[in-house]
Amino acid sequence: MKVIDHIRNAKDTLISFEILPPLKGKGIEALYDHLDPLMEYKPAFINVTYHRSEHIFKKNPDGSFKKVVVRKRPGTESICAAIMNKYNVDTVPHLICGGFSVNETEDALINLNYLGIDNVLVLRGDAAKNETAFIPQADGHAYAIDLLKQVADLNNGIYLEEDLKNSQKTDFCIGVAAYPEKHFEAPNMETDMAYLKAKVDAGADYIVTQMFFDNSKFYAFVDACRKAGITVPIIPGLKPVYTLKQLNVLPKTFHIDLPTDLSKEMMKCKTNEDVERVGTEWLLMQSKDLKKNGVPVLHYYTLGRPQIISNVVKEL
Ligand code: FAD
Protein backbone atom coordinates (compact mmCIF):
# COMPACT_ATOMS: atom_id res chain seq x y z
CA MET A 1 0.00 0.00 0.00
CA LYS A 2 1.13 3.54 -0.72
CA VAL A 3 2.45 5.79 2.06
CA ILE A 4 -0.03 8.45 0.98
CA ASP A 5 -2.93 6.00 1.41
CA HIS A 6 -1.69 5.01 4.87
CA ILE A 7 -1.78 8.70 5.75
CA ARG A 8 -5.21 9.28 4.20
CA ASN A 9 -6.71 6.27 6.02
CA ALA A 10 -5.11 6.99 9.40
CA LYS A 11 -7.18 8.09 12.38
CA ASP A 12 -4.11 9.02 14.42
CA THR A 13 -0.41 9.77 13.98
CA LEU A 14 1.36 6.81 12.38
CA ILE A 15 4.79 5.38 13.19
CA SER A 16 7.47 4.54 10.62
CA PHE A 17 11.08 3.42 10.83
CA GLU A 18 14.17 3.84 8.72
CA ILE A 19 16.93 1.25 8.51
CA LEU A 20 20.18 0.74 6.61
CA PRO A 21 21.01 -2.39 4.61
CA PRO A 22 23.65 -4.49 6.38
CA LEU A 23 27.31 -4.03 5.49
CA LYS A 24 28.33 -6.29 2.61
CA GLY A 25 29.29 -9.71 3.98
CA LYS A 26 26.85 -9.56 6.92
CA GLY A 27 23.65 -11.60 6.94
CA ILE A 28 20.13 -10.23 7.02
CA GLU A 29 19.56 -11.85 10.46
CA ALA A 30 21.15 -8.88 12.26
CA LEU A 31 18.64 -6.66 10.51
CA TYR A 32 15.78 -8.86 11.66
CA ASP A 33 17.17 -8.78 15.23
CA HIS A 34 17.16 -4.98 14.94
CA LEU A 35 13.58 -4.85 13.64
CA ASP A 36 11.95 -7.66 15.66
CA PRO A 37 11.48 -5.64 18.87
CA LEU A 38 10.20 -2.64 16.90
CA MET A 39 7.49 -4.49 15.01
CA GLU A 40 5.13 -4.59 17.98
CA TYR A 41 4.57 -0.85 17.36
CA LYS A 42 3.00 -1.68 13.99
CA PRO A 43 4.89 0.74 11.74
CA ALA A 44 2.85 1.82 8.72
CA PHE A 45 5.98 1.46 6.59
CA ILE A 46 9.73 0.94 6.83
CA ASN A 47 12.24 2.91 4.78
CA VAL A 48 15.48 1.32 3.59
CA THR A 49 18.30 3.68 2.66
CA TYR A 50 20.38 3.48 -0.53
CA HIS A 51 24.14 3.73 -0.53
CA ARG A 52 26.15 4.82 -3.50
CA SER A 53 29.24 2.98 -4.63
CA GLU A 54 32.59 4.49 -3.72
CA HIS A 55 36.01 4.48 -5.30
CA ILE A 56 38.64 3.10 -2.96
CA PHE A 57 42.31 2.32 -3.45
CA LYS A 58 43.45 -1.25 -2.71
CA LYS A 59 47.08 -2.20 -2.26
CA ASN A 60 48.48 -4.73 -4.76
CA PRO A 61 51.05 -7.36 -3.60
CA ASP A 62 53.77 -5.32 -5.36
CA GLY A 63 52.93 -2.27 -3.26
CA SER A 64 51.18 -0.36 -6.03
CA PHE A 65 47.54 0.68 -5.68
CA LYS A 66 44.53 -0.10 -7.80
CA LYS A 67 41.28 1.84 -7.87
CA VAL A 68 38.21 -0.31 -7.22
CA VAL A 69 34.54 0.54 -6.99
CA VAL A 70 32.69 -0.88 -4.00
CA ARG A 71 29.18 -0.55 -2.62
CA LYS A 72 29.42 -1.17 1.11
CA ARG A 73 25.71 -1.59 1.73
CA PRO A 74 24.09 -3.19 -1.31
CA GLY A 75 20.66 -4.83 -1.48
CA THR A 76 18.13 -2.08 -0.76
CA GLU A 77 15.50 -3.44 -3.17
CA SER A 78 15.75 -7.07 -2.03
CA ILE A 79 15.82 -6.10 1.65
CA CYS A 80 12.58 -4.17 1.09
CA ALA A 81 11.02 -7.27 -0.44
CA ALA A 82 12.37 -9.53 2.34
CA ILE A 83 11.01 -7.25 5.09
CA MET A 84 7.67 -6.99 3.35
CA ASN A 85 7.41 -10.79 3.17
CA LYS A 86 8.60 -11.43 6.70
CA TYR A 87 6.62 -8.77 8.54
CA ASN A 88 3.80 -8.02 6.13
CA VAL A 89 4.64 -4.32 6.27
CA ASP A 90 5.00 -1.81 3.45
CA THR A 91 8.50 -0.72 2.58
CA VAL A 92 9.97 2.40 1.03
CA PRO A 93 13.26 1.94 -0.79
CA HIS A 94 15.32 5.09 -1.18
CA LEU A 95 16.57 5.81 -4.69
CA ILE A 96 19.48 8.14 -5.35
CA CYS A 97 20.91 9.91 -8.39
CA GLY A 98 24.56 9.55 -7.35
CA GLY A 99 26.37 6.68 -9.04
CA PHE A 100 23.43 5.58 -11.17
CA SER A 101 22.76 5.97 -14.86
CA VAL A 102 19.21 6.67 -15.96
CA ASN A 103 19.07 3.16 -17.45
CA GLU A 104 20.13 1.55 -14.15
CA THR A 105 17.48 3.62 -12.41
CA GLU A 106 14.83 2.42 -14.83
CA ASP A 107 15.88 -1.20 -14.22
CA ALA A 108 15.74 -0.66 -10.46
CA LEU A 109 12.21 0.73 -10.79
CA ILE A 110 11.14 -2.23 -12.92
CA ASN A 111 12.60 -4.57 -10.28
CA LEU A 112 10.73 -2.78 -7.51
CA ASN A 113 7.53 -3.05 -9.49
CA TYR A 114 8.04 -6.80 -9.96
CA LEU A 115 8.64 -7.11 -6.21
CA GLY A 116 5.28 -5.47 -5.49
CA ILE A 117 6.79 -2.39 -3.84
CA ASP A 118 4.49 0.63 -4.11
CA ASN A 119 6.71 3.39 -2.77
CA VAL A 120 10.00 5.16 -3.41
CA LEU A 121 11.76 8.04 -1.70
CA VAL A 122 13.72 9.90 -4.38
CA LEU A 123 16.91 11.68 -3.40
CA ARG A 124 19.93 13.19 -5.00
CA GLY A 125 22.44 11.56 -2.66
CA ASP A 126 25.55 13.17 -1.22
CA ALA A 127 28.96 13.67 -2.77
CA ALA A 128 31.12 10.54 -2.95
CA LYS A 129 33.71 10.34 -0.15
CA ASN A 130 36.53 11.34 -2.50
CA GLU A 131 34.62 14.35 -3.90
CA THR A 132 34.13 17.77 -2.33
CA ALA A 133 30.81 18.40 -4.10
CA PHE A 134 28.18 16.17 -5.67
CA ILE A 135 29.12 15.21 -9.23
CA PRO A 136 26.35 13.54 -11.20
CA GLN A 137 27.11 10.42 -13.17
CA ALA A 138 27.70 11.34 -16.84
CA ASP A 139 24.49 9.58 -17.88
CA GLY A 140 22.69 10.05 -14.55
CA HIS A 141 20.56 12.68 -12.84
CA ALA A 142 21.88 15.87 -11.27
CA TYR A 143 19.02 16.60 -8.87
CA ALA A 144 16.31 14.66 -7.08
CA ILE A 145 13.70 16.38 -9.24
CA ASP A 146 15.20 14.78 -12.36
CA LEU A 147 14.96 11.33 -10.78
CA LEU A 148 11.44 12.13 -9.62
CA LYS A 149 10.44 13.04 -13.18
CA GLN A 150 11.77 9.68 -14.38
CA VAL A 151 9.61 7.86 -11.80
CA ALA A 152 6.60 10.02 -12.71
CA ASP A 153 7.20 9.29 -16.41
CA LEU A 154 7.30 5.56 -15.74
CA ASN A 155 4.05 5.92 -13.78
CA ASN A 156 2.67 7.26 -17.06
CA GLY A 157 4.09 4.38 -19.08
CA ILE A 158 6.94 6.46 -20.51
CA TYR A 159 10.16 4.43 -20.63
CA LEU A 160 13.57 5.70 -21.71
CA GLU A 161 13.30 3.86 -24.99
CA GLU A 162 10.95 5.81 -27.19
CA ASP A 163 9.35 2.72 -28.72
CA LEU A 164 8.29 1.46 -25.28
CA LYS A 165 6.03 4.50 -24.82
CA ASN A 166 2.64 3.62 -23.35
CA SER A 167 3.91 0.24 -22.18
CA GLN A 168 3.30 -1.22 -18.73
CA LYS A 169 2.74 1.61 -16.24
CA THR A 170 4.05 1.60 -12.70
CA ASP A 171 2.18 3.32 -9.88
CA PHE A 172 4.78 4.41 -7.35
CA CYS A 173 3.93 6.74 -4.51
CA ILE A 174 6.80 9.26 -4.49
CA GLY A 175 8.36 10.84 -1.41
CA VAL A 176 11.03 13.55 -1.35
CA ALA A 177 13.39 14.93 1.29
CA ALA A 178 13.39 18.40 2.84
CA TYR A 179 15.40 20.27 5.42
CA PRO A 180 13.73 22.36 8.17
CA GLU A 181 17.13 23.96 8.80
CA LYS A 182 17.90 24.33 5.04
CA HIS A 183 19.92 22.03 2.81
CA PHE A 184 23.55 22.89 3.42
CA GLU A 185 24.27 23.74 -0.21
CA ALA A 186 21.30 26.05 -0.71
CA PRO A 187 22.22 29.75 -0.55
CA ASN A 188 19.13 30.52 1.53
CA MET A 189 15.83 29.08 2.75
CA GLU A 190 13.79 30.75 -0.01
CA THR A 191 15.81 29.12 -2.79
CA ASP A 192 15.68 25.74 -1.08
CA MET A 193 11.92 26.14 -0.66
CA ALA A 194 11.48 27.00 -4.35
CA TYR A 195 13.28 23.77 -5.33
CA LEU A 196 11.20 21.80 -2.84
CA LYS A 197 8.02 23.29 -4.32
CA ALA A 198 9.26 22.28 -7.77
CA LYS A 199 9.65 18.66 -6.56
CA VAL A 200 6.09 18.67 -5.24
CA ASP A 201 4.74 20.30 -8.41
CA ALA A 202 6.54 17.60 -10.42
CA GLY A 203 4.59 14.88 -8.59
CA ALA A 204 5.93 14.27 -5.06
CA ASP A 205 3.14 12.85 -2.91
CA TYR A 206 4.69 13.69 0.45
CA ILE A 207 7.80 15.06 2.16
CA VAL A 208 10.06 13.53 4.84
CA THR A 209 12.34 15.87 6.71
CA GLN A 210 15.90 15.70 7.82
CA MET A 211 16.23 15.09 11.57
CA PHE A 212 15.80 18.13 13.83
CA PHE A 213 15.91 18.53 17.59
CA ASP A 214 13.93 21.71 18.02
CA ASN A 215 10.27 21.25 17.12
CA SER A 216 9.74 24.99 16.67
CA LYS A 217 12.01 24.77 13.61
CA PHE A 218 9.82 22.02 12.16
CA TYR A 219 6.62 24.01 12.78
CA ALA A 220 8.15 27.14 11.21
CA PHE A 221 9.20 25.04 8.22
CA VAL A 222 5.73 23.56 7.78
CA ASP A 223 4.24 27.09 7.94
CA ALA A 224 6.71 28.28 5.30
CA CYS A 225 5.83 25.31 3.08
CA ARG A 226 2.11 26.02 3.38
CA LYS A 227 2.71 29.71 2.58
CA ALA A 228 4.71 28.62 -0.48
CA GLY A 229 1.70 26.59 -1.66
CA ILE A 230 3.03 23.14 -0.69
CA THR A 231 0.02 21.18 0.48
CA VAL A 232 1.30 17.56 0.65
CA PRO A 233 1.83 15.79 4.02
CA ILE A 234 5.11 16.64 5.76
CA ILE A 235 6.58 13.83 7.87
CA PRO A 236 9.09 14.75 10.59
CA GLY A 237 12.31 12.71 10.72
CA LEU A 238 13.46 11.95 14.27
CA LYS A 239 16.66 10.55 15.70
CA PRO A 240 17.82 9.97 19.27
CA VAL A 241 21.07 11.41 20.59
CA TYR A 242 22.74 8.89 22.88
CA THR A 243 26.46 9.72 23.04
CA LEU A 244 28.36 12.91 23.84
CA LYS A 245 30.30 12.50 20.60
CA GLN A 246 27.08 13.00 18.64
CA LEU A 247 26.88 16.57 19.95
CA ASN A 248 29.64 17.38 17.46
CA VAL A 249 29.16 14.66 14.86
CA LEU A 250 25.46 15.27 14.09
CA PRO A 251 25.77 19.00 13.31
CA LYS A 252 28.87 18.35 11.18
CA THR A 253 27.36 15.42 9.27
CA PHE A 254 23.77 16.56 8.88
CA HIS A 255 24.11 20.35 9.04
CA ILE A 256 21.62 20.72 11.88
CA ASP A 257 21.69 22.50 15.26
CA LEU A 258 21.31 20.89 18.64
CA PRO A 259 19.38 23.06 21.12
CA THR A 260 21.41 24.53 23.98
CA ASP A 261 19.12 22.97 26.58
CA LEU A 262 19.81 19.51 25.16
CA SER A 263 23.58 19.90 24.84
CA LYS A 264 23.90 21.50 28.30
CA GLU A 265 21.89 18.71 29.90
CA MET A 266 23.96 16.04 28.17
CA MET A 267 27.27 17.63 29.11
CA LYS A 268 26.26 17.54 32.78
CA CYS A 269 25.90 13.74 32.60
CA LYS A 270 28.43 11.62 34.53
CA THR A 271 27.78 8.27 32.83
CA ASN A 272 26.91 6.94 29.35
CA GLU A 273 23.61 5.70 30.78
CA ASP A 274 22.75 9.23 31.88
CA VAL A 275 23.56 10.58 28.42
CA GLU A 276 21.27 7.98 26.86
CA ARG A 277 18.52 8.78 29.37
CA VAL A 278 18.65 12.50 28.52
CA GLY A 279 18.59 11.74 24.77
CA THR A 280 15.65 9.37 25.23
CA GLU A 281 13.69 11.92 27.27
CA TRP A 282 14.35 14.58 24.64
CA LEU A 283 13.11 12.34 21.82
CA LEU A 284 10.02 11.44 23.84
CA MET A 285 9.32 15.11 24.52
CA GLN A 286 9.69 15.91 20.80
CA SER A 287 7.51 12.96 19.75
CA LYS A 288 4.68 13.75 22.20
CA ASP A 289 4.63 17.37 21.12
CA LEU A 290 4.61 16.52 17.39
CA LYS A 291 1.85 13.97 17.91
CA LYS A 292 -0.18 16.52 19.89
CA ASN A 293 0.22 18.90 16.98
CA GLY A 294 -1.18 16.36 14.56
CA VAL A 295 1.79 15.32 12.40
CA PRO A 296 0.76 12.52 10.00
CA VAL A 297 3.65 10.18 10.85
CA LEU A 298 6.55 10.05 13.32
CA HIS A 299 9.45 8.73 11.23
CA TYR A 300 12.33 7.36 13.33
CA TYR A 301 15.89 6.89 12.13
CA THR A 302 16.61 3.68 14.03
CA LEU A 303 20.33 3.24 13.30
CA GLY A 304 22.34 2.52 16.43
CA ARG A 305 19.93 2.10 19.32
CA PRO A 306 16.57 0.62 18.33
CA GLN A 307 15.91 0.10 22.05
CA ILE A 308 15.67 3.87 22.52
CA ILE A 309 13.09 4.12 19.75
CA SER A 310 11.20 1.26 21.37
CA ASN A 311 11.26 2.98 24.78
CA VAL A 312 9.97 6.20 23.24
CA VAL A 313 7.23 4.75 21.03
CA LYS A 314 5.99 2.64 23.95
CA GLU A 315 5.25 5.84 25.87
CA LEU A 316 3.25 7.53 23.11
P1 FAD B 1 17.85 17.83 -4.11
O2 FAD B 1 16.40 18.02 -3.89
O3 FAD B 1 18.32 17.55 -5.49
O4 FAD B 1 18.57 19.18 -3.57
C5 FAD B 1 19.98 19.23 -3.44
C6 FAD B 1 20.43 20.69 -3.40
O7 FAD B 1 20.27 21.27 -4.70
C8 FAD B 1 19.63 21.58 -2.47
O9 FAD B 1 20.52 22.54 -1.96
C10 FAD B 1 18.59 22.22 -3.36
O11 FAD B 1 18.18 23.49 -2.87
C12 FAD B 1 19.33 22.32 -4.68
N13 FAD B 1 18.50 22.11 -5.87
C14 FAD B 1 17.46 21.25 -6.01
N15 FAD B 1 17.00 21.27 -7.27
C16 FAD B 1 17.80 22.13 -7.96
C17 FAD B 1 17.86 22.56 -9.32
N18 FAD B 1 16.99 22.11 -10.22
N19 FAD B 1 18.84 23.45 -9.68
C20 FAD B 1 19.72 23.91 -8.77
N21 FAD B 1 19.71 23.54 -7.47
C22 FAD B 1 18.76 22.66 -7.06
N23 FAD B 1 21.37 10.01 0.95
C24 FAD B 1 21.74 8.80 0.44
O25 FAD B 1 22.79 8.73 -0.22
N26 FAD B 1 20.97 7.68 0.61
C27 FAD B 1 19.82 7.71 1.30
O28 FAD B 1 19.15 6.68 1.44
C29 FAD B 1 19.39 8.96 1.86
N30 FAD B 1 18.22 9.07 2.55
C31 FAD B 1 17.81 10.29 3.00
C32 FAD B 1 16.55 10.40 3.63
C33 FAD B 1 16.09 11.64 4.08
C34 FAD B 1 14.73 11.74 4.74
C35 FAD B 1 16.91 12.79 3.94
C36 FAD B 1 16.45 14.14 4.46
C37 FAD B 1 18.15 12.70 3.32
C38 FAD B 1 18.61 11.47 2.83
N39 FAD B 1 19.84 11.33 2.18
C40 FAD B 1 20.22 10.12 1.66
C41 FAD B 1 20.73 12.47 2.04
C42 FAD B 1 20.45 13.29 0.75
O43 FAD B 1 20.79 12.49 -0.37
C44 FAD B 1 21.32 14.54 0.80
O45 FAD B 1 20.86 15.40 1.79
C46 FAD B 1 21.55 15.26 -0.51
O47 FAD B 1 22.62 16.20 -0.30
C48 FAD B 1 20.37 16.04 -1.04
O49 FAD B 1 19.37 15.22 -1.47
P50 FAD B 1 17.95 15.84 -1.95
O51 FAD B 1 17.17 14.73 -2.47
O52 FAD B 1 17.38 16.70 -0.90
O53 FAD B 1 18.50 16.74 -3.19
CATH number of the domain residue 47 falls in: 3.20.20.220
Give residue 62's domain range: 3-315
pLDDT at position 29, please? 95
> Which ligand 1 atom is at minimum distance from the Cα of 210?
36
pLDDT at 55 over 80: no
Distance from Cα 262 to the centre of ligand 1, integer Å: 27
- Is the pLDDT reported for residue 250 higher than 90? yes
Q: Count how many residues are written for the chain.
A: 316
- What pLDDT, on the 0 to 100 scale, is given for residue 238? 98
CB 145 near ligand 1, within 6 Å: yes
Q: Give the separation between CA 242 and CA 239, rounded to whole angstroms.
A: 10
Atom of ligand 1 nearest to the CA of 127: 47
CA 304 from chain centre, in angstroms, equals: 15
Write the residue with the smallest CA distance to atom 42 of ligand 1.
Answer: 125
Least confident of 15-29, 42-56, 57-71, 238-252: 57-71
| Secondary structure in 3-state letters for 101-154 | CHHHHHHHHHHHHHCCCCEEEEECCCCCCCCCCCCCCCCCCCCHHHHHHHHHHH
Write the pLDDT tens digit of every residue in 85-140.
999 999 999 999 998 999 999 999 999 999 999 999 999 999 888 888 999 988 99
ipTM: 0.99
Evaluate if residue 314 carries a pLDDT over 90: yes
Q: Is 192 in the pocket of ligand 1 (CB under 6 A)?
A: yes
C-beta of residue 80 within 8 angstroms of C-beta of residue 115: yes
pLDDT at 72: 85
| Structure confidence by residue, pLDDT tens digits, 131-176 | 889 999 889 999 999 999 999 999 999 999 877 876 789 999 999 9
**Better-predicted residue by pLDDT, 24 or 167:** 24
How many domains, the chain? 1
Looking at residue 108, its pLDDT comes to: 96
Q: What is the pLDDT of residue 131?
A: 85
pLDDT at 304: 81
Range with lowest mean pLDDT among 65-79, 109-123, 197-211, 291-305: 65-79
Could you tell which of 17, 124, 176 is best to mutate to test the pocket of ligand 1, judged by most ligand atoms within 8 Å of the CB? Answer: 124
Q: Of 183, 302, 194, nearest to 254 (Cα)?
A: 183
At residue 305, the pLDDT reads 87
pLDDT higher than 80, residue 69: no
Q: Which amino acid is at 151?
A: V
Per-residue pLDDT of 283-311, as tens digits, reads 999 999 999 999 999 999 998 889 999 99
* pLDDT at residue 168 in the model: 85
From 68-72, 133-137, 261-265, the region with the lowest mean pLDDT? 68-72
For ligand 1, what atom is nearest to the CA of residue 98? 25
Cβ atoms of residues 286 and 315 within 8 Å: no
Q: Residue 305 Cα, ligand 1 centroid: separation in angstroms?
A: 25
Torsion from C-alpha of 236, 154, 231, 217, nearest 10 degrees: 30
Which one-letter amino acid corresponds to residue 5? D
pLDDT for residue 52? 86
Apex 91 CA angle, 229 and 249, nearest 5: 75
pTM above 0.80, yes or no: yes
